[in-house]
Structure 1
């Protein structure tokens, strides 16, 4: 019995060893392949993208009138409220007019005297004309009468001019606004003495609706723009007065659009820039003279350009713009772009991409060229904004 149990135990041990050896002889299981990383893409299509440039500038009044004294005298009254809007022709000051009323009366009396002398001279000349024909008087006497007649006529004309001058000076004692606009602080008070010879400044009136916006553009940027238009990279704006949008000091957008009025042709030697002037409606007087603003001017249109989100574009060590795309086989490929400007949050790409290519915008950190990837849900497509600020890079 014990011998039989030993044989059974030995058989069990041998069977266990064989099972163990059989298990060790099986090949090891291979790990599962890692899934392809997911990336977010945008599908780009060419379009006509308006190109604009954002420039710093300041506002300037549309009209400025310095109200100055045109006669000598003492200011008797200030007839306007400082800082208020005034109409064209509205009375601002009155100057003591007594001396000018007297001067006008004196000129009018001299005019009447000259008119009476002319009547007498005319009558004498007419009488002598009849007498000289019958040789009743000498020819010299008649010539003297005609000369006196002409002198009397000239004296009357001079007297009439003196009356006009005196009346003008009397009118200058009522100082009125030459334009409609916003008045400023009065430089003189009641009782002050003003002089025409010194052209005493009394106040200033500024028209601020509409209002100018003067911005400066570097001559190099202007040259680059002309070259881009000449090469066909940009298409010049066909409108006679391109629209201009404005951003205020606090970063908010001005609700009304302006129009480009002119671009200077003289380069400032100190700054290397030219002045560009736009005019804006300002009915609510939000814009005040001297405010710092940023103006966006549409310079042209990039034909068949692509809008690529800024997050998708990087630059290589040589400074060239690049982007990663997903090719037809689902692999990552790198593209070298022609991208010199940005429009809002997007790069304006004029070369290096094809219609319908999928540009990677999400998951860029985990992929590199040649990797197999899978495309997640497509991201929102970039949209061109006609008034988006564009800066040269």
Structure 2
């Protein structure tokens, strides 16, 4: 085939990890003994689903005590108000001194404050009794229980009970050297690279077994800080995960289509030979002799390799039967009709 320059995808392949969109650590908020686990490990739960039951008897007793304190404070408040009501007409007739009336008013206000304090204590007791039933804070897949029945859990140390991960959709996070990102920005400013908006940059995932994940994703976040220990920046893509095939912590490789390179070159995959981490192609020179050419590969998409350097527009690349010829051999080439690079780059 005759190499033709055109717009080719600028593909960057980066290692990454899968992360849950939302993760919640379920921890104890009261002290007590775990009585029961109320869920099946590894199942999907809705927000508010009961997960554990902590012995509620102590909190029930505290609730009764708070209710009694509120009743006592309410009775004291009623008595203080009645005294103020009796003193109010008497103080005008000088039957009760102003000092006694002021003291009665003060007692009434203190009684009101005691009622408010008792109500707050009752609300807190009701809240803590509710904490004895540990519920899922978010919807997602709940993990292995970190405690068993009979275990003592503590609110002070925030004992971890389990963890919930929201697995659909999921994030894939990648890191790229900041100098590489600066080069891309410079290429975009010079007009050599057409970069779309962040939300329109497509990412394809390669799983650990080498297969491509069926659904594509798009970038949704690029960190604005550089990690001083590695000199890299983090970028993130969002992927649908209806079958829960992607799991948090899973290693993946991402092929990021970061815009289109103007005047780029691509060739079919079968034309490239990769040996000892070096890529080569066989070309036919003007005198119909075979020559080996080392090339620098870019990304791979739609059955084609993007060539970053090593080939020029107009050169003839051997696509088929290159294994039957040797450098320096004279050949009679048959030129194939190959779609231009721009057409091959379209999905």
> TM (normalized to structure 1)?
0.74
**Matching residue of 2:168:** 209
Q: Contact (CA 8 Å) 2:91, 2:98: kept in 1 or not? A: yes
Q: 1:378 aligns with which of 336, 341, 344?
A: 336
Matches of 2:5 and 2:152 in 1, distance apart? 71
Cα 1:358–1:381, aligned 2, differ >3 Å: closer, same or farther? farther
- Write out aligned runs for 1:180-329 (5 A): 180-238=139-197, 240-309=199-268
Q: 2:318 aligns with which of 325, 343, 361?
A: 361
CA deviations over 1:45-102 (Å, ceiling 9, x no partner) = 4433221211001112222221111111111111111222222111111111111111
Matches of 1:313 and 1:102 in 2, distance apart? 77
Q: Is 1:87 the counterpart of 2:46 in the alignment?
A: yes
CA deviations over 1:298-348 (Å, ceiling 9, x no partner) = 21111343434578799xxxxxx9996777xx888x9x9997735444334
CA deviations over 1:82-137 (Å, ceiling 9, x no partner) = 22222211111111111111110111111111112212222222332222223222
1:380 CA displacement: 3.6
Matches of 2:299 and 2:128 in 1, distance apart? 62
Cα 1:160–1:341, aligned 2, differ >3 Å: closer, same or farther? same
1:199 CA displacement: 1.4
Q: Contact (CA 8 Å) 1:311, 1:361: kept in 2 or not? A: no
Structure 2 counterpart SS, 1:240: helix
Structure 2 counterpart SS, 1:256: coil
Of structures 1 and 2, the larger Rg is shown by: 1
Structure 1 counterpart SS, 2:10: strand
Cα 1:338–1:254, aligned 2, differ >3 Å: closer, same or farther? closer
1:261 CA displacement: 2.0
1:183 CA displacement: 1.7
Structure 2 residues without counterparts, runs of 5 or longer: 274-279
Q: Contact (CA 8 Å) 2:216, 2:239: kept in 1 or not? A: yes
Q: Contact (CA 8 Å) 2:11, 2:299: kept in 1 or not? A: no
> TM (normalized to structure 2)?
0.84
- Greater Cα shift, 150-159 or 339-348: 339-348
Q: Contact (CA 8 Å) 1:312, 1:359: kept in 2 or not? A: no
Matches of 2:312 and 2:262 in 1, distance apart? 14
Q: 2:62 aligns with which of 100, 103, 110?
A: 103
Matches of 1:340 and 1:210 in 2, distance apart? 32
- Greater Cα shift, 212-221 or 299-308: 299-308
Q: Is 1:140 the counterpart of 2:80 in the alignment?
A: no
Matches of 1:287 and 1:147 in 2, distance apart? 66
1:164 CA displacement: 0.3
Q: Contact (CA 8 Å) 2:141, 2:166: kept in 1 or not? A: yes
**Matching residue of 1:78:** 37
**Matching residue of 2:277:** none
Matches of 1:202 and 1:342 in 2, distance apart? 45
**Matching residue of 1:317:** none
Cα 1:365–1:337, aligned 2, differ >3 Å: closer, same or farther? closer
- Greater Cα shift, 158-167 or 345-354: 345-354
Q: How many residues align?
A: 333
CA deviations over 1:203-246 (Å, ceiling 9, x no partner) = 12221111121111122221221121121110111353422111
Cα 1:241–1:107, aligned 2, differ >3 Å: closer, same or farther? farther
Matches of 1:73 and 1:157 in 2, distance apart? 28
